[in-house]
Amino acid sequence: MNTRLSVNINKIATLRNARGGNMPDVVKCALDCEKFGAQGITVHPRPDERHIKRQDVLDLKPLLTTEFNIEGNPKEPFNNLVLGVLPAQVTLVPDAENAITSNAGWDTVRNKEFLKSVCKRFKDAGIRVSIFVDPVEEMVKNAADCGCDRVELYTEAYAKNYSTNREQAIEPYYKAAVAAQKCGLGLNAGHDLNLDNLRYFAQTIPGLLEVSIGHALICDALYLGLENTIQAYRRELR
């Protein structure tokens, strides 16, 4: 099984927003990512629209031919956007409005009843639901009780410690992945995965269905070009 690559295009939108106008064209870049080998497109709209805007989400949906994944904190404006667009997947992330980037997974014990209601609402609309969690077996097991289809493992700690001791860095992720399999959950992963640490993660973690990568991939594209970079990440996943 090859793990699928979903390209997060938030950073492309950040660059566009820095000058206003429509350069680079976010929709064109997303379609080019698909053409260059991306197997999905991820966006993470935030309330302040500092990168992906609501209109971007609306514009992308009818044009994408791969899986569309929308990430975000399931508050009403986000929920209404997702239910209006009906992507293939919604990833629930507990990020604060002022967070620079996602920095923690859900406490699926404390937030179980809330997450149950959110998962049901999206699944009733035919959307696959993934819950963003830290690599903790208890959080994975309780995510399953919330009624989601998948969990996405928050991989910042793995990436941070990879160069020091990769075996130790990946151990909690392996345990979390095994727990997900036992619970019947699909497994995604994302955050700070890059060309240095991705292959080992993908080869070691059982049942890894999808990785979502944005920041590192766009940084690499500055030197390698977008098409070559997407192909390089795909090779790491094979």
Active-site residue set: 44, 71, 191
**Strand (E) or helix (H) holding 17:** helix 10-19
User: DSSP per residue over 143-185, as a string?
Assistant: HHHTT-SEEEEE-HHHHHHTTT-HHHHHHHHHHHHHHHHHHT-
Phi, psi of 207 (to 5 degrees): 75, 20
Helix, strand, or coil (residue 209)? strand
81: nearest Cα among 111, 122, 50, 115: 122
**Strand (E) or helix (H) holding 199:** helix 198-204
Burial 64-94 (b: 16+ CB within 10 A, else e): bebbbbbbbbbeeebbebbeebebbbbbbbb
Cα 27 to Cα 223: distance, rounded to the nearest angstrom: 22
